[in-house]
Amino acid sequence: MSSKIFDNFILFYRGFIPSPGHLQHLAPPPTTPTVRVDTGVRQGDHVTTFYDPMIAKLVVWDKDRTTALKKLRETLSQYQV
């Protein structure tokens, strides 16, 4: 189960667009044997409008879909951007 973390904001007439600027605070959840964070940015990096604004992909797994969804929700609540 995975979720993508983006640096976007919403313009009601255009939808989601990149939110350029510095990542002043970035604290991903801790990784464990069942939680993985794939990322290419760190706190202080600059997000531009010229590239994909995806910050990370959060991947979790567990014994079944229901348990994995619960873990994904809990882990997403710990992600700080």
Instruction: Taking the CA atoms of 39, 70, 18 and 29 in sequence, report the sign of the dihedral they define.
Output: negative
The predicted-structure confidence for 36-75, as pLDDT tens digits, reads as follows 999 988 999 988 777 778 889 999 999 999 999 999 999 9
What pLDDT, on the 0 to 100 scale, is given for residue 11? 76
Tell me, rounded to whole angstroms, the distance of Cα 55 from its chain centroid: 6
What pLDDT, on the 0 to 100 scale, is given for residue 52? 76
Measured between alpha carbons, how far is 9 from 16 in angstroms, rounded to an integer?
6
Q: Which of 77, 79, 24 is nearest to 57 (CA)?
A: 79
Measured between alpha carbons, how far is 39 from 45 in angstroms, rounded to an integer?
12
What pLDDT, on the 0 to 100 scale, is given for residue 10? 75
pLDDT band at 76 (very low <50, low <70, confident <90, very high): very high
Whether this model's pTM surpasses 0.85:
no
